[in-house]
Amino acid sequence: MTRFVLPIKSAFIVVLLVINIGTLGGQDIKTSLQKSIDSRVNEYTDIAHQIWEFAEMGYLETESSGLLQRTAREGGFKIESGVAGIPTAFVASYGSGKPVVGIMGEFDALPGLSQKATWERDPRIEGAAGHACGHHLFGTASLAAAIAIKEQLKSGNLNGTIRFYGTPAEEGGSGKVYMGRAGLYDDVDVMLHWHPGSINNASPSSSNANKSAKFRFYGVAAHAAAAPHKGKSALDGVEAMNYMVNLMREHVPETTRIHYIITQGGEAPNIVPEFAEVYYYIRHPDYKVVRQLFERLVLTAEGAATGTGTKMDYEVIHGNYDVLPNETLANAMHDNLLAVGGVHYSKEETAFAEEVYKTLVQPGQTIGAEKEIAEYKLTATRGSTDVGDVSWLVPTAGLRTATWVPGTSAHTWQAVAAGGTSIGHKGMINAAKTLAMTAADLYQNPELIKAARNEWNNKRGSDFD
């Protein structure tokens, strides 16, 4: 090897040149991020499948949260467990200084939707929970993206802090809300997330705000045949409330969604029920309207109690803001999703998808949509998520990838089935790559963060509460 001797005053310049030569450029970093994720596909697939099998309900995701925490710790992250007073919530951090980029990951399942990875309805465990919203993929892909970014921070190609937020109980528990109240997002510059779906879409999207509560009615028990006049039916209170709410549907904004289940209606037909409970969700695209509609919901419950001679109280279970879309961030996310591309099925996956497709009701999309990237446009979903609350606290962007057979609805056994196969895993890996590449854009382009925060401030307004 030839050795060169240079004047001492030139040495500092040489060091700078070496550093610059050794630092990857923007596109090289994105290529490196994708290669990093590809190199660990088997590991990430195994993690996702383990969480799919755990299928733990919100706030009970001990095994799922623990697995993700161990993976992050082994990857060099500093772990804060049990944050915001929630045993399964955690924050995994690496790096220092600004910018601070957060990536959220969920891992809770849904009740009663246990399903094998087959194209026919066949529960793994009868009556048990299942990952019908794909959160086993969600948490895993988000952590995979964070690990890939951490490698670039460690190598010196990027500078700043990466945080993975392990957010429990999205399904009706609003874990992110409590984490926000604890101030865990206060110093975050931008938050990223994704969600499983039946197509690939990174367009800016809003959602419905919502609020839920359990309304409990208390009556007086009596023999339903021998002495019904001595009883006061709590179930009558529930049914009277439901009747009035169903009448109210005609007189609310058209974009309102109201749904309920009777969680308890009595013990036996021959006993006048002394306790009954109904569980309500109310949704609308504007969180301010949700507040107004909920007040009307309470009035129907009070009226029902008065009319049936029962007593009533209620417990608010959760509430979420509508998602505040950020077009600045969505543009960057969309470009990266285009670069990653869609999902391509093998022959076996195509056969599986075709069988599942036969079971779908009004699917809308057809097989083949998994290969495409949806057109960029501002959209709105009818669902609700605690990501909405985060988006009002910090500029936020997300995407969806095709982890389910096109046309599949969330919260169905078909979503559970596909999520337990390589179809779900392929979409998960595409999401991880898109998240990591978008995060890289943020570290390399401070103006992108500045523009995103300007848009966010303008949309929130000065009177945000």
Secondary structure in 3-state letters for the chain: CCCCCCCHHHHHHHHHHHHHHHCCCHHHHHHHHHHHHHHCHHHHHHHHHHHHHHCCCCCCCHHHHHHHHHHHHHCCCEEEECHHHCCCCEEEEEECCCCEEEEEECCCCECCCCCCCCCCCCCCCCCCCECCCCHHHHHHHHHHHHHHHHHHHHHCCCCCEEEEEECCCCCCCCHHHHHHHCCCCCCCCEEECCEEECCEECCCEECCEEEEEEEEEECECCECCCCHHHCECHHHHHHHHHHHHHHHHHHCCCCCEEEEEEEECCCCCCECCCEEEEEEEEEECCHHHHHHHHHHHHHHHHHHHHHHCCEEEEEEEEEECCCCCCHHHHHHHHHHHHHHCCCCCCHHHHHHHHHHHCCCCCCCCCCCHHHCECCCCCEECCCCCCHHHHHHHCCEECCEEECCCCCCCCCCHHHHHHHCCHHHHHHHHHHHHHHHHHHHHHHHCHHHHHHHHHHHHHHHCCCCC
Cis peptide before 285 (omega within 30 of 0): no
Please choose, from the candidates 108, 20, 123, the residue with its C-alpha nearest in 3D space to the C-alpha of residue 413: 123
The confidence band for 234, taking pLDDT boundaries of 50, 70 and 90, is very high
Q: What's residue 465's pLDDT?
A: 66
> In whole angstroms, what is the distance from residue 436 CA to residue 216 CA?
46
Flag whether pLDDT at 18 surpasses 90. no
Average pLDDT over residues 365-393: 95
Query: What does residue 133 show for φ and ψ, rounded to 5 degrees?
Result: -120, 5
Q: What's residue 225's pLDDT?
A: 96
| Residues in a beta bridge with 262 | 278
Flag whether pLDDT at 130 surpasses 60. yes
Flag whether pLDDT at 20 surpasses 50. no
**pLDDT tens-digit profile of 143-192?**
999 999 999 999 999 999 999 999 999 998 999 999 999 999 999 999 99
Q: What's residue 8's pLDDT?
A: 29
Q: What's CA 62's distance to the chain center, in Å?
A: 18
Flag whether pLDDT at 16 surpasses 50. no
Average pLDDT over residues 375-380: 93
Query: What does residue 91 show for φ and ψ, rounded to 5 degrees?
Result: -130, 130
The confidence band for 12, taking pLDDT boundaries of 50, 70 and 90, is very low
Task: Please say whether the beta carbons of 320 and 169 come within 8 A.
Answer: no
**pLDDT tens-digit profile of 310-324?**
999 999 999 999 999
Look at strands 161-166 and 190-192 and give their pairing. unpaired
> In whole angstroms, what is the distance from residue 122 CA to residue 125 CA?
9
The confidence band for 42, taking pLDDT boundaries of 50, 70 and 90, is very high
**pLDDT tens-digit profile of 356-369?**
999 999 999 999 99
Flag whether pLDDT at 211 surpasses 80. yes
On average, the pLDDT of the chain sits at 94
Amino acid code (one letter) for 239: E
Q: What's CA 390's distance to the chain center, in Å?
A: 11
Task: Please say whether the beta carbons of 141 and 45 come within 8 A.
Answer: no
Q: In the chain, what percentage of residues exceed pLDDT 90?
A: 92
Q: What's residue 5's pLDDT?
A: 29
Flag whether pLDDT at 289 surpasses 80. yes
> In whole angstroms, what is the distance from residue 242 CA to residue 260 CA?
8
Flag whether pLDDT at 9 surpasses 60. no
Q: What's residue 10's pLDDT?
A: 32
Q: What's residue 26's pLDDT?
A: 76
Please choose, from the candidates 179, 180, 188, the residue with its C-alpha nearest in 3D space to the C-alpha of residue 100: 188
> What interhelical angle do 62-74 and 135-155 show, nearest 10?
20
Flag whether pLDDT at 2 surpasses 70. no
**pLDDT tens-digit profile of 388-443?**
999 999 999 999 999 999 999 999 999 999 999 999 999 999 999 999 999 999 99
Average pLDDT over residues 277-304: 97
> In whole angstroms, what is the distance from residue 132 CA to residue 127 CA?
13
Task: Please say whether the beta carbons of 390 and 176 come within 8 A.
Answer: yes
> In whole angstroms, what is the distance from residue 135 CA to residue 425 CA?
12
In the numeric block, which tokens belong to residue 132? Answer: 């019908």
Flag whether pLDDT at 241 surpasses 50. yes
The confidence band for 23, taking pLDDT boundaries of 50, 70 and 90, is low
Flag whether pLDDT at 7 surpasses 90. no
Flag whether pLDDT at 276 surpasses 80. yes
Q: What domains can you pick out in the chain, each with its CATH number?
A: 25-207+323-460 (3.40.630.10), 209-320 (3.30.70.360)
